[in-house]
Amino acid sequence: MNKTIETINNHRSIRQYTKQDVDEEQLTAILEAARSMPTSIHGQQLSIIVVKDSKRKQKISELAGNQVWVAQAPVFLVFVMDMNKTAKAGEITGLKQVLHESAEGVLVSSFDAGLAMGAAIIAAESLDLGIVPIGGIRRNPQEMIDLLELPEKTFPVAGLVVGHPADLSARKPRMSEKGFIHTETYDDGAVKDAVREFDETMAEYYRNRGDKESNWSSQVSGLYQSVYYPKVYPVLKSQNFLLDK
């Protein structure tokens, strides 16, 4: 197994950081890795906001649900689906952009932002830095848009904390391959088995960690019985992602 795959397989989310800065060479390497990822039709419909200002990081931390590690770490990256950029091409050619109004446009731009974040994660961890993705930036999306001065046809998809780990957290178990990998067609029965097995794995993991009795199904179903970030849809529409096509 090569070093890159070992780095990926050793991933863990870090929620305690030292005060040591991420140097500019490291940050540039992380951003270049993200920028190098493929995008649909070479549309490059994503942007990354680099946040280092302590007051802005503190505000992001609060908006994201008081996630203190956002303010603690030296760098916070915001991955933005950006169809404002592609609309500029239409302004140059005189061709009106419509794709951002569709479900396809939202899927394409958010997926491309995710690909870029994946590369940033691998690059950061290969440099012995710690990271934790933050979906909580969608908790109060309009306030986040205002804070980052994002124009229409953009939306903050997720954030990434980057810094030097104060300690290494335990690596969480993953569901077995049969819950992820299918041959030729989707195997629903295998998924059901994998979920039941994973519940036992996670229950043991939490017991060993001294947490209250729980498992994966209880946690996920508890969260997914409602839309936990209900402001996303109305703010998407206000940003011109109409989702009507």
Residue 208, pLDDT score: 87
Q: How many CA atoms lie within 13 A of 12 on its CB side?
A: 13
Average pLDDT of adjacent 10-residue blocks, the chain of 245 residues = 90 93 97 98 97 98 97 97 97 97 97 98 97 98 98 98 91 94 97 96 90 90 95 97 95
List CB contacts of 210: < 8 A, sequence separation 6 or more: none
**CA gap 79, 34 in Å, rounded:** 10
CA dist 50 and 164 (Å) reads: 17
For each of the domains in the chain, give its residue range(s) and CATH number, in order of start: 3-170+228-238 (3.40.109.10), 172-214 (no CATH)
What integer pLDDT is reported at residue 200 of this predicted model? 95
Q: Where are the beta strands (DSSP E) in the chain?
A: 46-51, 75-82, 130-134, 154-163
pTM (2 d.p.) = 0.95
Residue 61: Cβ within 10 Å count: 21
Extract the tokens encoding 241.
């992602």
Identify whether the C-beta of residue 139 lies closer than 8 Å to the C-beta of residue 120: no
